[in-house]
Structure 1
Amino acid sequence: MFAETTGKPEIDRHKATAMVMRMFDNWQLSSEDRIALLGLAKENRTALSKYKRGEPIANSRDTLERLSHLFAIHKNLRLLYPQREVCYAWMRKPNGAFEGLSPVQIIDRYGFVGLLMVRSYLDRARGT
């Protein structure tokens, strides 16, 4: 997914987009949830539609950092919950650690900070 061009790694945004859309499909997220996790404006369905069609994700620092955290969350979930149905449902299920909100709701409510909250919760659960 990373390519080397000018001495520093560069992400293959086409592959990253395909991976995150497939991950969202597995998590069975609504369009609104996908928009929240990507940090898009609530009314920005156009960008989401482009990503679903295979256009590369935006080349912004915020978006690429979000992807990095989302992929880390997914990796943590796969390691913590090897049962696919449990792993893929976790993001949508209410969680006592988040005052009864689902991880998706936490990210929607708190934005990037919510994303970090979910990731750090899973990092701690894995002991990393």
Structure 2
Amino acid sequence: MFRAAVRLFAHWDITDEQAATLLDMPVRSYGRWKAGDLGRIDRDGRARLSNLLGIHKALRIIFEDAARGYRWIKAPNDAFGGRSALEVMLGGELTDLMRVRRYLDAERGGW
């Protein structure tokens, strides 16, 4: 699951600092994880990874062209008060990730 998130962050073209914020971990820890030294993933980390991969899945369902979905993450969005989904998620709370995922699930008609 973590390796998929690292690939996802590369597609989203985000910095290690941003990735660490999304995962709620120090940048150095993210660097070790990125290099393959995963260590243990706690409950919050698993929830964050699950939401991030759910966001990716929803974008792949909504957009036939994957690149459009990757660009959507950084585009201003009226649903988020003109902020991008990335800006919302970089609030750093698990609920910020959940907010974006719920929005996308509703857009794609999930659940």
CA contact (8 A) 1:17 1:55 kept: no
Query: How many residues matched?
Result: 110
Match of 1:36 among 2, 16, 21: 21
Structure 2 partner of 1:26: 11
1:71 aligns with 2:53: yes
Q: 1:110: Cα distance to partner?
A: 5.5
Superposition RMSD on alpha carbons, in Å? Answer: 1.3
Bigger Rg, which one: 1
Structure 2 CA distance for partners of 1:37 and 1:57, relative to 1, 3 Å: farther
Which structure has more strand as a fraction of its residues? 1
Deviations 1:21-73 (A, max 9, x none): 00100111112221121122xxx211111111012264200000111111111
Task: After TM superposition, list the pairs within 5 Å mapping 1:49-68 onto structure 2.
Answer: 49-56=31-38, 58-68=40-50
Partner SS state of residue 90, structure 2 = helix
Do the aligned partners of residues 111 and 117 (structure 1) sit closer, same or farther apart at CA in structure 2, a change above 3 Å counting? same
Q: How does 1:73-112 map to 2 (within 5 A)?
A: 73-109=55-91, 111-112=93-94
Q: Which runs of 5+ in 1 are unaligned?
A: 1-15
Structure 1 outlier segments of 4+, above 4 Å: none
Distance in 2 between the 1:35 and 1:105 partners?
14
TM-score normalized with structure 2 length: 0.91
Q: Choose which of 100, 105, 110 in structure 2 pairs with 1:123.
A: 105
Structure-2 change in CA distance of 1:51 and 1:63 (3 Å): same
- Structure 2 spans left out of the alignment, 5+ residues: none
